């Protein structure tokens, strides 16, 4: 049995303003491309719901590598534009994954 | 400024088989009703994506209270039926929320 190595997730919940959707789409694509080259990146998945909220769950090996991604200059620029234009609100939870289990039929 | 008190989230990612959707809907409603009465429960939100995956993020004040919910007999029964009927797969991450920040326009 593979032993479990704890890691980190950022849970990014957001609601968009609906402004400049094209610019948002381009930025979103660029960020998903960039984060894949970030040291410690382990994967990301996005979801949405009927209230117009979105959640992206981003996995990193360590908290330090997650902070490096937060401080990436292109990501910083996207964060600033996000507050100015794209997001009505967002919430970020920095989480230590202590345990994980899975069922596959 | 309110100081941040760490808490726990369970990230429950799943994909359904598509079998017995009515039974699933009734169970889902029942579970959302039950968990609200569980000590330490702080809220839950569900999302889905275009790959047919769902994620529910459930917040609890402590890990012990989260384990109490996992062991709730009606919830246990739903878990068993979930493996037998409703879920093609699921993944549960037990996470300690160390930090949280928010932006509201």
Q: What is the pLDDT of residues B23-75, one digit of tens each?
A: 999 999 999 999 999 999 999 999 999 999 999 999 999 999 999 999 999 99
Which tokens is B29 given?
A: 């409603």
Residue among B47, B57, B100 whose CB faces A48 most closely:
B47
Whether the predicted interface score ipTM is above 0.85? yes
Residue B102 near residue A93, CB atoms below 8 Å: no
Residue A102 falls inside a structural domain: no
Residue A72 falls inside a structural domain: yes
Residue numbers of the domain that contains B92: 7-97
Is there a contact between A100 and B93 if contact means CB atoms under 8 Å apart? yes
The pLDDT value given to residue A3: 78
pTM surpassing 0.90? Answer: yes
Q: Scanning every residue of chain B, which has its alpha carbon at the shortest distance from the alpha carbon of A95?
A: B97
Number of domains in chain B: 1
Higher pLDDT, B1 or B56: B56
Residue A104 falls inside a structural domain: no
Residue A2 falls inside a structural domain: no
Residue A78 falls inside a structural domain: yes
What is the DSSP pairing of strand B53-60 with strand A87-104? unpaired
Which tokens is A101 given?
A: 């289990």
Which CATH number does the domain housing residue B61 bear?
3.30.70.100
CA angle A74, A72, A86 (to 5 degrees): 50
Residue B105 falls inside a structural domain: no
Give the minimum alpha-carbon distance from B104 to chain A in angstroms, rounded to a whole number: 4
Residue B61 falls inside a structural domain: yes
């Amino acid at each position: 049995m593979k032993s479990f190595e704890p890691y980190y997730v950022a849970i990014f919940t957001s609601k968009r303003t609906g402004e400049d959707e094209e610019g948002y789409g381009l930025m979103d694509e660029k960020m998903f491309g960039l984060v894949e080259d970030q040291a410690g990146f382990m994967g990301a998945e996005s979801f949405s719901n009927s209230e117009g909220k979105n959640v992206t769950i981003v996995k990193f090996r360590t908290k330090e590598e997650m902070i490096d991604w937060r401080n990436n200059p292109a990501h910083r620029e996207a964060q600033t534009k996000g507050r100015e234009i794209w997001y009505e609100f967002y919430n970020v939870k920095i989480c230590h994954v202590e345990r994980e289990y899975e069922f596959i039929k």
